[in-house]
Amino acid sequence: MCWEGAVQNILADWTDKDLAQGLHAKTIPIMLGIQKSASLVLITLTGATVLMIFLFWLYSPIWEWVAALAAAITCSYLLLIPGIKLYLAQDRDHAMALFNKASYFPLVLLGIVLGLITAA
Beta carbons within 8 Å of 94's beta carbon, 6+ residues apart: 82, 85, 86
Cβ atoms within 10 A of the Cβ of 38, count?
25
Domain containing 49 equals 2-119
Answer yes or no: are the C-beta atoms of 94 and 41 closer than 8 Å.
no
112 contacts 70 by C-beta, under 8 angstroms: yes
Decide: 75 and 52 in contact? Cβ < 8 Å.
yes
pTM for the whole structure: 0.89
Task: pLDDT tens for the chain, 120 residues: list them.
Answer: 555 666 788 998 888 887 767 788 888 898 999 999 999 999 999 999 999 999 999 988 778 999 999 999 999 999 999 999 999 999 999 999 999 999 999 999 999 999 988 887
Question: Considering its fold, how many domains does the chain have in total?
Answer: 1
